[in-house]
């Protein structure tokens, strides 16, 4: 009985920790999918002097792709939108370039949208570290 109790306690602690680890790994995959688009958009903005022609499949920006954790991705006027799947189901991430005609590219605004508060926080943590 004691052994079963110990196993139950360890499972109650270990399973949520492992699920959080898997969630962060999936978010890192999503981040790695988005980064090449962000770089291409920054180059497009410098080359074109604005965001209006920085769309997927044009001006050096790759066509959108999907991965194990990204079911859909769009790039329109520099705004990157990605929708999660698998363990990121219900998550939408939007990266919006902060362009100022006087100062140029000033950084990126991150928006994570989901009804799961733990996923929301994990998304904000993972994507925060990648933005200037």
Q: What is the pLDDT of residue 69?
A: 93
**Domains of the chain, start order:** 1-127 (3.30.700)
How far is residue 112's CA from residue 95's CA, in Å, rounded to a whole number?
9
Q: pTM of the predicted model, to two decimals? A: 0.82
Q: Does residue 51 surpass a pLDDT of 80?
A: yes
How far is residue 73's CA from residue 64's CA, in Å, rounded to a whole number?
6
| Span 56-107, pLDDT tens digits | 999 999 999 999 999 999 999 999 999 999 889 999 999 999 988 788 788 8
How far is residue 121's CA from residue 112's CA, in Å, rounded to a whole number?
9
Residue 34's nearest CA partner among 58, 59, 56 is: 56
Q: How far is CA 34 from the centre of its chain?
A: 7
For 31, the token pair is 């981040």
């Amino acid at each position: 009985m004691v052994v079963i109790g110990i196993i139950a306690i360890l499972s109650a602690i270990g399973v949520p920790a492992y699920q959080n680890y898997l969630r962060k790994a999936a978010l890192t995959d999503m981040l790695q999918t988005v980064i090449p688009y962000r770089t291409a958009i920054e180059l497009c903005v410098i080359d074109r002097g604005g965001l209006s022609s920085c769309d997927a499949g044009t001006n050096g920006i790759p066509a959108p792709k999907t991965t194990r954790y990204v079911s859909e991705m769009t790039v329109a006027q520099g705004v990157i939108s990605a929708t999660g799947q698998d363990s990121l189901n219900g998550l939408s991430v939007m990266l919006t370039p902060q362009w100022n005609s006087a100062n140029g590219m000033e950084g990126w605004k991150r928006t994570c949208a989901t009804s799961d508060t733990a996923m929301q926080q994990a998304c904000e943590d993972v994507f925060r570290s990648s933005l200037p």
